[in-house]
Chains A and B, each alone.
Chain A
Amino acid sequence: MRRAWLLPLALAIVGCSRDTGSSSTPGSVTPESVTAGEPVRHYGLGRAATAAEVTARDIDVGPDGEGLPAGSGSVQQGEALYKLKCAMCHGPSGAGMPPAFPAIIGRDPKAEGFAFARDPKLTRTIGNYWPNATTVFDYVRRAMPLLQPGSLTNDDVYALTAYLLAANDVVPRTTTLDAASLSQVKMPYAGKFVTDNRRGGREVK
């Protein structure tokens, strides 16, 4: 498939031949370079990806819910799946076997209040740490279960997400999640994450 910029590229090469000193430069310079301040070169390498190729790899989900697929799953369905697919590593209660298999479920009152910097023994879980509910869906779909990544259906992933959020006291146990409802879930400690303010210099931050 010919890419759209091949035509301007050809014109630019013709233009180059009249310039002094630039005709030996590889690639070509497009009009974009004028606005960007630096030369933009195209080498004509690679090919346009097909829509199917992009769709096959583009499974990411954004914090706004962008990318969430069709489908749905309930807490109850997720609990059954958890026992079958997750409990052998993360434990029946989600306490995990850190560090390889982290704790994922738990709202121990001692670990509430985001005091993790003061006490390394406090256990971080989805409920008391994770800022975005969509991350649960995205991660489970791309990486879990450990020995069969990518084997879960979208309904399975919604169900497991619903169960994990319910077990972490984020959503009620009656919840069924789909793209619209998952996008609306607010995590308890979402507001705790701040921009990195380290910039070098004398002050230790």
Chain B
Amino acid sequence: MDDQWKDVTTDETISRRTLLTGAAGALGAAVAAGLPLMAGGQGAQAAAAAAPVMPADPTKLQGAPTSAVGSRSTFIKPSRTPVGETVGNSLTPLQDLTGAITPSDLHFERHHAGIPLIDPSRHSLLIHGLVATPLMLSYDELRRFPQVTRTYFIECSGNSRAAYRDPKPDMTPQKVAGLVSNTEWTGVPLKALLDEAGAKREARWMLAEGGDACLMTRSIPMEKAWDDALVVWAQNGEPLRPEQGFPLRLLLPGWEGNASVKWLRRLELGMRPWMTRWETSKYTDPLPDGTARQFSFDIDAKSVITAPAFPQSITRGWWPITGLAWTGRGRITSVEVSADNGKSWEPAVIHEPNLTKASVRFTHMWEWDGRETVLLSRATDETGYVQPTRTELVKVRGIGTDFHFNPIVGWKVQRDGRVVFHGET
């Protein structure tokens, strides 16, 4: 806390001196004296940086100076929730975002042993097992390989569990589906690293291990490793955030997030899966016939309306119905919106770019006439898969199934304009 306070006061001192010695000396002196800036006297000056007083007319006052790192408007306060979880998650505030890209600092989190603090100069990636030579690559060396930059969503396959099993009116888009995010990733195609290590073609599975306190491990089929898997070190133009795997993360496009192992430190090639805790006890899908799906990596097509949504209230007139759609099997080919609880559907506008295994933003203009109704969205992907209703999904998966929840969901607009979650489709 002390350090933070010192930084703030130091910045302020610099800005005041700059103003005082500048050409606009008189104005600078006035600003430094706090005349237009401060509601109170000198005593209030120290608190100015933390809590600026809103001027009645911002066009009559010099604005704030430059800063090392930008921040959001004080009027805009998106937040992941819940916070403080080390074995748990935080969800992206979908209702606060527009477009398809998730800001890095709002990308959802799922940690199984907290976020490790890793010095990249001491981090390395070991590739061994069925390879010509076990290969040790430093963080710096990895970034010298040919790189690609691609936009992909990541969805935790536990996303929407609560909305599926026990939908409640007071669920927000964040609560309903906030374990999905969509960002731009930069890294090296895993194929290049496998070639460098001399990966043997007979290898069938690869164990990916993270450098967190649970040494997270998942077995990955080699088909995926040779196909579109990446080892990424950057997200949205800068090094990965610690909570997204700094310094290195495996990125398996279109697959459940847990398999995109964060803090990646080891890849072992072998002939059979390892049956780690996370692919047996967890991340398996019990089915009504008394079996459980294992290695159910693919994310099926899914969409969610992010506005209007709880806890919004709307008035009569035109509103954009907007939301996100994504599929792990390629591109979304259509998103339909129903404004009459599924009796009729109209195509929504899918905003470009529509990229493979990336979220798309959709919008659909709608005029509310004041009557109670339910708004729904339904995604279709390039395989012809159509997002099912909850009833259809419960029939084939059971209410107690544990991962991959992608039913059609929506929002009931009450006569008073209040919008509540509608999960029983």
Contact = CB atoms under 8 A, between A and B. Distances in A.
Interface residues of A, number: 65
Contacts of A169: none
A202 B384 contact: yes
If over half of A's interface residues share one DSSP class (helix, strand or loop), that class is named, otherwise mixed; here it is loop
Given A193-B294, A200-B385, A117 B276 contact: no
Contacts of B281: 102, 124, 126, 129-130, 135, 139
Interface in B166-200: 192, 195-196, 198
B291 A57 contact: no
Interface stretch (A12-20, A46-54, A74-82, A176-184): A46-54
Nearest to B158: A99
Contacts of A100: 85, 87-88
A146 B113 contact: yes
Given A114-B286, A192-B291, A135 B276 contact: yes
Nearest to B278: A139
Contacts of A118: 288, 398-400
A117 B300 contact: no
B265 interface: yes
Nearest to A118: B398
Nearest to A194: B291
Contacts of B393: 204
B275 A134 contact: yes
B70 to A, nearest CB: 35
A200 B385 CA distance: 5
B132 A5 contact: yes
Contacts of B400: 115-122
Interface in B109-159: 112-113, 126, 128, 132-138, 141-142, 144-146
B287 interface: yes
Interface string B378-406: 00010111101000110011111110000
Contacts of B134: 48-49, 53-54
A156 B384 CA distance: 52
A143 interface: yes
B268 A117 contact: no
Contacts of B386: 202
B294 A196 contact: yes
Given A201-B383, A202-B385, A194 B145 contact: no
B126 A54 contact: yes
Interface string B341-374: 0000000000000000000000000000000000
Given A100-B88, A198-B300, A201-B384, A117 B288 contact: yes
Chain B contact residues: helix, strand, loop or mixed = loop
A122 B292 CA distance: 14
A1 B269 CA distance: 22
Interface string B56-98: 0000000000000000000000000000010110000000000
Contacts of B263: none
B192 A41 contact: yes
Max chain A Cβ within 10 angstroms of own Cβ: one of B265, B280, B393: B280
Contacts of A194: 287, 291-294
A148 B233 CA distance: 29
A62 interface: yes
A205 interface: yes
A3 B272 contact: no
Nearest to A117: B398
Interface in A60-119: 60-64, 99-102, 113-119
Contacts of B201: 36
B292 to A, nearest CB: 5
B336 interface: no
25 contacts: A4-B133, A42-B195, A43-B144, A45-B137, A45-B142, A46-B137, A48-B133, A49-B126, A49-B134, A54-B126, A54-B128, A60-B209, A60-B268, A114-B286, A116-B286, A117-B287, A117-B290, A117-B401, A131-B294, A143-B214, A149-B213, A192-B292, A195-B293, A198-B293, A204-B392
